[in-house]
Amino acid sequence: MNKMGQIFADYFSDNMVLPANKEIRFGGTVKPYTKVLLSLEKVTIETSADSRGEWSIEFPAHAASKKAISIIGKSGGFSQIINNVHFGRVFLFAGQSNIEFKLEDEQHFENEKKIYQNDSVYFFNVPQIEFFDKRRNKKRPTDLKKGQWLLATRDNIGGMSAIAFYASKVLARDYEGPIGIVDCYKGGTSASCWLPLNLLKESKVLNDHFIKPFEDAILNKTKADFDQEDLNYEKKVKNHQNSLLEYQKKYPEKTLNEVKDVVGHTPWPPPMRPESYLRPGGLFETMILQIKYGTFNNVVWYQGENDTENADYYEELLSNLINTWRELFRDKSLPFLLIQLPGYEDGIDNTWAKIRQVQLRATMKIPYVKLCSISDLGESHNIHPTDKKTPGIRIGNILQENQYAETPGITKMCYEANRLTIIVSHALTLSFKNNTQFVVKTKGNKVESLFSANNFAGNKIEIDLPQGAASVEYGFINFPNLGIFNEFGLPLSPFRIVIEKEKARLSK
């Protein structure tokens, strides 16, 4: 008689959702070279583990069904059963703090908790392992629980990503089958944390900018040195918090934005140490590889805030991340939905605008990459807006393609006889709100602002430019005042276009 034991990777647990109508990959770790038999309904497939004990099996596509099934794995006299498995649609939500932002901290949570009813949304929070000590076989933090798939209920939705929660409500409303949400995020992180270390080292630019500074920061330091640096940082944070509280007590009528204008923001980042989760390649190793056998319908990537200082390198980071994850998940056409950063005043030198430009360019250069701009949202001095309902619903509508598969963006541009013509995708008509302007810079760096109100015809924008125009910008600042929307009220993505040799192109 078979004994029960672990055969599947932790990602595979009771109550999970798998994508319907796609080949499904299963995997895990057993004794090296032992056989593994996997049974799903009437189909059984056999394979053997490799020298490290790792195994994987791909199963044929399975139709969507509300009927739950069980999956049975057997190996070396042991068996493991995954019960209550559903086939529907599965979405990976990944990135940093704004997608990590929990529903329990979101401004509409109490009302959502009262009214929430659900029998079709399930979620899996990937454990936030920061470091794995292979020599001692220990994980940090040491108190992390194993991840498990859960049916979303009033009692546990507070632990979901707020944005993923609101998106899942839209998806569940408009799709008859089960919805699976996989949350994989960690606040304060660069995209370099989510890439393999060897890939970063292979690029001279990324190696010089991310790997070498990390190595220099930890070089020739003892544990005592690292601990002292941490104490000094904690003292700075505590002093900042005290200053914040004192100022708020003295001026209770002031908003948080106004307070931060005076006392500044929480010190960040903390000092680097070898086991820091902020190290290059760290979270790819400790978090993404936990779900390497996953199969997904879409990836929602909301990140970039911590790379605003790395804006010149973000295009290479982002394209590598998309390609690497597609390779890991064995899906070359895996769709990515990039969440274009919201407005935020405090970045320097339009760095937030530069990240948005990279995100826009990625949708034009990389197949199966789409954009959801939330650049019309955000708070001027609060990097973590507490309204996640508005962006979450927008993301859900785009994933479900209720209106369009993405927000409006440039699909074509032409420059001729001092006239710039822009064709906008995902819009039949464009409307003008607010006092939005196109900012035109000439070769002598003279700035002229042209109002956009009379430049529309359907989804076309035409701008007559002065002689010697070098660039045209729309919303290309950290906290833009966007005023161009499609018929569903979705914002046109901010952009910067350069004019060179009588031709127009998106700037880097």
Q: Is the peptide bond between 270 and the residue preceding it cis, with omega within 30 degrees of 0?
A: no
Number of H helices, E strands in the chain: 12, 27
Tens digit of pLDDT for each residue in 375-429?
999 998 889 999 999 999 999 999 999 999 999 999 999 999 999 999 999 999 9
Spans of the chain below 50 pLDDT: 1
Q: Note the pLDDT of residue 457.
A: 85
pLDDT at 1: 42
- Alpha-carbon span 328 to 340, nearest angstrom: 24
CA angle, 419 as apex, 414 and 423 as ends, to 5°? Answer: 40
Q: Are 96 and 21 in contact (CB under 8 A)?
A: no
CATH number (3.40.190, 2.60.40, 3.30.43, 1.10.357) of 409-506 reads 2.60.40
The Cα-based distances of 162 to 114, 153, 159, 194 in angstroms read 16, 14, 8, 21
Helices 314-328 + 351-365 axis angle, to 10: 40
Give CA angle at 220 (215, 222), nearest 5°: 110
DSSP annotation of 189 reads -
E-strand ranges in 386-464 read 409-416, 419-425, 430-432, 437-442, 447-451, 456-457, 460-464
Sequence-separated contacts (24+) of 111-120 with Cβ below 8 Å = 112/157, 112/165, 113/154, 113/157, 113/158, 114/154, 116/152, 116/153, 116/154, 116/157, 118/151, 118/152, 118/153, 118/172, 119/151, 120/88, 120/172, 120/177, 120/178, 120/179
Structure tokens that stand for 314 in this block: 């973000």
SS3 407: coil
Q: What angle do CA 229, 234, 236 make, to 5 degrees?
A: 95
Using CA atoms, how far apart are residues 244 and 247, in angstroms rounded to an integer?
Answer: 5
- What pLDDT is attached to residue 2? 57
> Mind listing the pLDDT tens digit for each residue in 121-148?
999 999 999 999 888 888 999 999 999 9
End-to-end CA distance of the chain: 63
Strand 65-75 relative to strand 35-40, pairing? antiparallel
- Can you read off the two tokens belonging to residue 300? 């929602």
The most distant pair of C-alpha atoms in the chain lies apart, rounded to whole Å, by 85
Question: Rounded to two decimals, what is the model's pTM?
Answer: 0.95
